[in-house]
Structure 1
Amino acid sequence: MGTRRRVAERRSTKKPAVIGGTIALVVAGAGVGVYALYGGGAAADDRTTPTAASADEKAVKTGPLSATEVTTAARTFLTAWQQGKVTTAAAATNDSTAATALLTGYTKDAHIEDVTLTAGARTGDKVPFTVKGTVSYKGTSKPLTYGSSLTVVRDAEDGKPYVDWHSAVVHPDLADGDTLVTGESGTPPVKALDRDGGEITTAEYPSLGTTLDGLREKYGKIAGGKAGIELRVIRGKASKAKDLSDETVLELSEGTPGTVETTLDPELQAAAEAEVAKKANSSVVLLRPSTGEILAAANASHGFNTAFQGSLAPGSTMKVITSSLLIEKGLASADEAHPCPKYFTYGGWKFQNDDKFQIKGGTFKTSFARSCNTAFISQAPELADDDLTRQAQEVFGLSMDNWAIGVPSMDGSVPVQSDAQMAASLIGQGGVRMNPLNMASVSATIQTGVFRQPYLVSPDVDNRTLATASRTMSAATVSQLRELMSYTAAYGTAAEAMSGVTGDVGAKTGSAEVDGQQKPNGWFTAYRDDLAGAGVVQAGGHGGETAGPIVADLLKLGAP
């Protein structure tokens, strides 16, 4: 947080702060702006050691915040907000300019009135509170209730406590830069249908909330519906840069929905929802390789669509793409001898295998099946910096930012890198980023030999153009890649997860290290006949043990 700028005692930038406070309290609202404070043991907590100050200057207070400082700052802010005194409330924060804008819009743009704020028990520097009010717009009103929280920090410049300002203080669904607006929704609602004509709802499929928001944003105006009146989160620049969609907070009056047909299969979607519910931070996607139709997509965490929009290092699942490159360049062949030493140094980095294993006299197929890192890193000296990037783009249709699946998505990133970072990218680390949708597409490309851009809504609905790859691999290369993945599913790191999955199958596991994370992200990508899937379990551990069972269980259902 930056240095405070004083303008008539208004604070317009965030300040350095010290966080503290240890005694619990309850702040309860009564009437308008009236609060009762109960600070058990607060007197003891408030004892401070006098600091020396000159005759002309009072010393700035430092150290942890006392219970009274936290509750007083919270009370000042909440009381002023409840009373509609925006300037006073904003002055109690460490970013009065941003606070003034959002609190003014709370009444003017969101049309929220008769606000009552009830604070809960303090925990350290944090105070939760409940908001109750009424949203009124052109004669239509509806009650609004939700919970939020604030954090109090000490300013390093003047030593005083202030509410640490973020838009989420006003409403937990707001990111900084977002706003709340009530009015006729610019986009009419949509009724999304699965491939069998059944309605898709979050009650039945909890993880599809973000997908339904994306469908409305994309097709609401062309699907034949009529807008209703809603309180909505309107995303700012930062949120839009993350491809976050606007969000409905409260519906005052229903619009007339238009209809959008999707490719989702109800049986597979229900199964995907059940699978991710078993494993925290998991995400999975299934699609039909022969067409690119997305059949299911689910996330254990419902706030962000990791399945479509995640940007994570894919670990060793990236070796599928790298293998296609090495085979095409004559640097590897499935049944030919290939080095897998304990270590390999390139670009100043010393790379090693999991548990520092090595394979003596093994083939490339053996190295792929056991996910030998050095088997791939050892080929880095023979590659140009842009080889992997071009392979991902030209053959697999990735990393060109041009997928149009029908809702927001990220189509992978394989940047051009050099030296050690280039070598790391060969095993799905470095700057490479993927999500389950991308890696399901990779397996689908191997299964059919042709890249087909995945899609959730048929391009016939809006005449959009799907992404294409500029070339296909030779039949010989595709055959070797299928051999590698089939062998891995039967005898390699994917064998346990793929046990019982019959038919034309192939798989690859992955574990991606993340700085500051105790366990790696576990990845798994596989295909069975005309069904391909991929999953990730963040901070879950090895992919064969975490994401593998999720994907394999869905593959067992068979392609519809």
Structure 2
Amino acid sequence: MRTGAKIATGVIGAAIVGAAGLGAYNLVDAVAEGTSGAHSEAAPVRTGPLTPEETEKAASDFLAAWAAGNTQKAGGLTDNAEAATAALTGYREDAHVEKVAFKQGTADGAKVPFSVTAEVSYAKQRSTWTYASSLTVVRGRSSGRPLVGWQAGVVHPRLAAGQTLKTDTTGTPKVTVVDREGKELTAADHPSLAFVLPELAKRFGEKAGGERGVEVRAVGGAVAPGAAAEPLHVVSQGKPGTLRTTLSAAVQRAAEAAVSRHDDASVVAVKPSTGEILAVANAKKTEFNAALSGQTAPGSTMKVVTSALLLEQGKASPGKPLPCPKNATYGMTFHNVEQSENPRATFAQDFAASCNTAFISLAGQLADDALAAEARDVFGLGLDWKAGIPTFDGRVPTDGGAGKAAAMIGQGRVQMSPLAMASVAATVRNGSFRQPYLVDPALDGRTLARAPRALSPAAARDLRSMMRLTATSGTGAKAMSGLGGDIGAKTGSAEVDNQTAPNGWFTAYRDDVAAAAVVPRGGHGGDSAGPVVAAVLRAG
């Protein structure tokens, strides 16, 4: 017995040495044969074409191990165990295939077709996925065993080298965006919203009740540009949500039509009592939304804010005389854009005629930071508005000397968007600032900006009377003609370096609708931007 044991051990050792490089299959054969006698030798490596029986069995064993979830065993039945095991493990874990079954077809030489029935489970979504694939059986180069020739296409025929399957949610839920009355808003009907609607869907899709779809896709590998288009399988189409905005389809249509009469123009309408944005339109249909995010000098429309400051500080009052000379100097010489010179003018008449020099004459009576404080604390400008999509909420920097004087008439370093100037008019009409927004903050828990204080009642009353004077007999009268109700307006012409004509601005309100527009290089604001705003106010 001891002698036999020693002989057997010696044979195993010889077999291990002799089988080096022949593969595990031959090693096992050698060990098995070595136990039968001291004169056994390692089995010869099988060569030659595969028999039909070898092909059928190799395919059957591989598919059975894969179906049983034994990825290590299945991988070992291929000619690249490491890659196959990783891919089959990923099939279960990354593609989320909970269960898989196969139906093996009739071999065509070494190629064996098979059909796949996979049960995909991702979160709450489940789906049965059926498709056809195939494998090719090869003879192992060192072992001679029938093995599955491994390639990514065994898992799915559309997988390229280096690719794997991944089941995941789609980018964003589908969302139907509607206006304040529940009417669907589309880019086809409202071209200015072409980039706004996708942004809203991206930000609020899930909060609006939408559910993302679930898809199986090919990932990784060297994929040609644009090749990763269609999913291999759709587990769930997702559920569309409905996102209600503050927009008004009727006002939006009017805004689109109004800006379309210019090569470049932008307009925004808001509801003074709430801050709800009613319309956003741009003549240029680009991804940059100038109506909401533009940053340009507002010209004399800024005199609404400046007048609020002068009224609240007692530096001026509507009926108080304030001459309008041809030129005024404060750090530099300023002139009038309008034909507004009037040595007997009152402050209200200066406002209605848009006299620059009258305002400049009061610059020395104001602290350098006074205008910036008024803009922030009363009109909410620069308070980081959270409207639902990105906006520019104005900038009025503290300045001294000529810079302070220029800021008083909306020049220098003052920057505004049409949205910001529509809000300025809305604040006058309402008496206090209401942050503009496009989507109800209750949907996502946003905190709207709040101005520290309201406009003083006396200043609000005086400003409304001055804006009404502008709308009925001042520089805004032509544009506002025919509009009834509680109306008020302010024109602006902002001079820009190296520009032959100034930008035309206009901000106004009618009852509970306020709007502002800018027409770059439009010249006089009453003639260019005024009709745009008036058209929007009529629709509101």
DSSP 3-state at the match of 1:544: helix
Residue among 540, 550, 554 paired with 2:532: 550
Report the Cα distance in structure 1 between the residues aligned to 2:350 and 2:443, rounded to whole angstroms. Answer: 45
Residue among 199, 203, 218 paired with 1:214: 199
Residue among 413, 417, 431 paired with 1:435: 417
Q: What does 1:289-438 align with in structure 2 at a 5 Å threshold?
A: 289-303=272-286, 304-347=288-331, 349-354=332-337, 357-400=340-383, 402-438=384-420
Report if aligned partners of 2:378, 2:433 keep a CA contact under 8 Å in 1. Answer: yes
Moved over 6 A (4+): none
Match in the other structure for 2:517: 535
Report the Cα distance in structure 1 between the residues aligned to 2:372 and 2:433, rounded to whole angstroms. Answer: 16
TM superposition score normalised by structure 2? 0.64
- 1:80-115 per-residue CA deviation (whole Å, 9 max, x = no partner) reads xxxxxxxxxxxxxxxxxxxxxxxxxxxxxxxxxxxx
Report the Cα distance in structure 1 between the residues aligned to 2:230 and 2:429, rounded to whole angstroms. Answer: 48
Match in the other structure for 2:172: 187
TM superposition score normalised by structure 1? 0.62
Report the Cα distance in structure 1 between the residues aligned to 2:230 and 2:413, rounded to whole angstroms. Answer: 45
Report if aligned partners of 2:340, 2:354 keep a CA contact under 8 Å in 1. Answer: no
Could you tell me how far 1:421 is from its partner in structure 2? 1.1
Could you tell me how far 1:428 is from its partner in structure 2? 0.5
Report the Cα distance in structure 1 between the residues aligned to 2:193 and 2:529, rounded to whole angstroms. Answer: 20
Say whether residues 1:198 and 2:183 are aligned partners: yes
Call closer, same or farther: CA 1:310–1:184 in 2, change over 3 Å.
farther
**Aligned residue identity for 2:462:** Q
Report if aligned partners of 2:255, 2:535 keep a CA contact under 8 Å in 1. Answer: no
Match in the other structure for 1:508: 490
Any stretches of 5+ residues in structure 1 without a counterpart? 1-137, 141-182, 230-247
Call closer, same or farther: CA 1:228–1:310 in 2, change over 3 Å.
farther
Report the Cα distance in structure 2 between the residues aligned to 1:189 and 1:318, rounded to whole angstroms. Answer: 41
Residue among 226, 242, 262 paired with 2:212: 226
- 1:293-333 per-residue CA deviation (whole Å, 9 max, x = no partner) reads 11111111111211111111100000000000011111110
Report the Cα distance in structure 1 between the residues aligned to 2:267 and 2:229, rounded to whole angstroms. Answer: 30
Call closer, same or farther: CA 1:356–1:216 in 2, change over 3 Å.
same
Any stretches of 5+ residues in structure 2 without a counterpart? 1-156, 160-167, 216-225, 232-236
Could you tell me how far 1:257 is from its partner in structure 2? 3.4
Could you tell me how far 1:409 is from its partner in structure 2? 0.6
Report if aligned partners of 1:445, 1:451 keep a CA contact under 8 Å in 2. Answer: yes
Match in the other structure for 1:288: 271
Could you tell me how far 1:185 is from its partner in structure 2? 5.2
Aligned-residue identity in percent: 53
Match in the other structure for 1:472: 454
Call closer, same or farther: CA 1:356–1:271 in 2, change over 3 Å.
closer
Call closer, same or farther: CA 1:227–1:405 in 2, change over 3 Å.
farther
Report if aligned partners of 1:214, 1:408 keep a CA contact under 8 Å in 2. Answer: no
Call closer, same or farther: CA 1:212–1:358 in 2, change over 3 Å.
same
Could you tell me how far 1:386 is from its partner in structure 2? 0.8
Report the Cα distance in structure 2 between the residues aligned to 1:274 and 1:251, rounded to whole angstroms. Answer: 37
Report the Cα distance in structure 2 between the residues aligned to 1:280 and 1:464, rounded to whole angstroms. Answer: 36
Call closer, same or farther: CA 1:228–1:441 in 2, change over 3 Å.
farther
Residues matched between the structures, number: 362
Report the Cα distance in structure 1 between the residues aligned to 2:229 and 2:522, rounded to whole angstroms. Answer: 38
Could you tell me how far 1:186 is from its partner in structure 2? 3.6
Q: Please, what is the CA RMSD of the aligned residues? A: 2.5
**Aligned residue identity for 1:200:** L
**Aligned residue identity for 1:461:** L
**Aligned residue identity for 2:329:** T
Residue among 476, 486, 490 paired with 1:494: 476
Report if aligned partners of 1:265, 1:296 keep a CA contact under 8 Å in 2. Answer: yes
Q: What does 1:116-155 align with in structure 2 at a 5 Å threshold?
A: none
Report the Cα distance in structure 1 between the residues aligned to 2:362 and 2:445, rounded to whole angstroms. Answer: 43
Call closer, same or farther: CA 1:513–1:228 in 2, change over 3 Å.
farther
Report the Cα distance in structure 1 between the residues aligned to 2:230 and 2:371, rounded to whole angstroms. Answer: 52
Match in the other structure for 1:274: 257
Say whether residues 1:460 and 2:442 are aligned partners: yes
Give the structure with the higher percent helix. 2
Call closer, same or farther: CA 1:257–1:515 in 2, change over 3 Å.
farther
Report the Cα distance in structure 1 between the residues aligned to 2:202 and 2:496, rounded to whole angstroms. Answer: 33
Report the Cα distance in structure 2 between the residues aligned to 1:509 and 1:356, rounded to whole angstroms. Answer: 13
Call closer, same or farther: CA 1:264–1:488 in 2, change over 3 Å.
same
Could you tell me how far 1:355 is from its partner in structure 2? 5.9
Could you tell me how far 1:225 is from its partner in structure 2? 2.7
Bigger radius of gyration among the two: 2
**Aligned residue identity for 1:505:** I
**Aligned residue identity for 2:198:** D
Report if aligned partners of 1:314, 1:510 keep a CA contact under 8 Å in 2. Answer: yes
Report the Cα distance in structure 1 between the residues aligned to 2:396 and 2:408, rounded to whole angstroms. Answer: 10
Report if aligned partners of 2:340, 2:353 keep a CA contact under 8 Å in 1. Answer: no
- 1:520-556 per-residue CA deviation (whole Å, 9 max, x = no partner) reads 1111000011111111111111110011001112212
Report if aligned partners of 1:338, 1:361 keep a CA contact under 8 Å in 2. Answer: yes
Report if aligned partners of 1:288, 1:530 keep a CA contact under 8 Å in 2. Answer: yes
